[in-house]
Amino acid sequence: MWLYLAAVLAGLYLLRRWHRERQMVPRLSEKYVLITGCDSGFGNLLARQLDARGLRVLAACLTETGAAQLRAATSPRLQTVLLDVTSSQSIAAATAWVRECVGDQGLWGLVNNAGTAIPTAPNEWLTKDDFVKVLDVNLVGLIEVTLSLLPLVRRARGRVVNVASVMGRISFFGGGYCISKFGVEAFSDSLRIEMCNFGVKVSVIEPGYFKTMITNAENVEKNLLSIWEKLLEETKASYGENYLKECLVALRKMQMRCNSNLTLVTDCMEHALTSRFPRTRYSVGWDAKLLYIPLSYLPSALTDFILTWSYPKPAQKV
């Protein structure tokens, strides 16, 4: 009997959740949404997707080439602005431009999508500056953009959507990427709590492995080989040439497993912006849901055993 009761309650909960998530925000054609990192990948696809939906998209691109290509592929509603999230001057200029565009109604949506993963390598191979390069884009830049635009979002009682990663839950490769995504998760949590009384909703997108410029195997391999060449001979001897080769093989395997269906991610972003009841977190991809998130809840000793089982082995082991 208790099993049947639990099943009924679970069914009612899922039905209620399904009903709530299907309720959309009215007058979407009047809403302004700013998206960072629109030159390619998730940001580019989301900008085109929201434009087709009728929203007023403000697409922030790093390059004029990326901005021009996006304008050519979308309606006249979409507007572009050049934005380097590592530059305070660039952020201030973009904020002033957004303020002019949205006027008194404020900014309905801010999607912090701009990101990078390079340099990525075993931690010992990297320098402080290597970590800073990634953190400046993925975390510090995201925070500064958010703080600059938050008054406009608060005026509209709108949404902040931060793109983290499933690697923000579990970290098994070196460099600033996983660290930055842990930080995005923490910043989003504190911001969500602070903004709830203002009617602003904050959501986090946690993609698994998807085929974007960030996961481009060729770029990551060039980065890794470049870092290897600069290592001290003592460090190279400790790890060995075979360790490097195994890392490169693992990168190629990862690229083969990457999901090319980016709409799985952009659909979650769109839902976070257009649903009356957006989720706090959107974990996207079967690898995220069935592998990495369950791993993040296991005892650390068990998680370490599973991850190191297939990890490259250095030449000099204890």
Per domain, the residue ranges of the chain are 26-211+260-284, 216-257
Which of 4, 32, 177, 311 is labelled catalytic?
177
CB count within 10 Å of CB 191 equals: 18
Q: Residue 105: pLDDT band by 50, 70, 90 thresholds?
A: very high
Average pLDDT taken over every residue of the chain: 90
Model confidence, pTM: 0.89
- Asked whether the beta carbons of 137 and 116 are under 8 A apart, the reply is yes
pLDDT at 216 (0 to 100): 67
Q: 65-74, 123-132, 170-179, 188-197: which range is least confident on average?
A: 170-179
Q: Residue 312: pLDDT band by 50, 70, 90 thresholds?
A: confident
Q: Is the dihedral of CA 221, 62, 37, 42 positive or negative?
A: negative
177 is known as an active-site residue = yes
Please say if the pLDDT value at position 277 is more than 80. yes
Q: How many angstroms separate the Cα of 309 from the Cα of each of 250, 302, 305?
A: 13, 11, 6
Q: Is the dihedral of CA 286, 288, 292, 294 positive or negative?
A: negative
pLDDT at 291 (0 to 100): 87
Q: Is the dihedral of CA 86, 91, 93, 97 positive or negative?
A: positive
Give mean pLDDT, residues 132-155: 97
pLDDT at 19 (0 to 100): 61
pLDDT at 88 (0 to 100): 97
Question: Rounded CA gap, 249 and 244, in Å?
Answer: 9
Give the pLDDT confidence of 215-256 residue by residue, as tens digits. Answer: 666 777 888 888 988 988 899 988 888 888 888 888 777 777
Q: Is the peptide bond before 278 cis (omega within 30 degrees of 0)?
A: no
Burial of 310 (0-12, 13-18, 19+ CB in 10 A): exposed
Q: Beta strand 201-207 with 159-163: parallel, antiparallel or unpaired?
A: parallel
pLDDT at 18 (0 to 100): 65
Q: What percent of the chain has pLDDT over 90?
A: 60
The most confident of 231-240, 255-264, 307-316, by mean pLDDT: 231-240
- Asked whether the beta carbons of 119 and 175 are under 8 A apart, the reply is yes
pLDDT at 316 (0 to 100): 67
Q: Max CA-CA distance within the chain? A: 68
Give the pLDDT confidence of 24-81 residue by residue, as tens digits. Answer: 888 888 999 999 999 999 999 999 999 999 999 999 999 999 999 999 999 999 999 9
Give mean pLDDT, residues 270-292: 92
Q: Which CATH architecture has domain 26-211+260-284?
A: 3-Layer(aba) Sandwich (3.40)
Q: Edge-to-edge, what's the strand order for the sheet holding 281-284?
A: 79-82, 56-61, 32-35, 109-112, 159-163, 201-207, 281-284
Three-point CA angle 210, 214, 215, nearest 5°: 50
Q: 30-39, 114-123, 199-208: which range is least confident on average?
A: 114-123
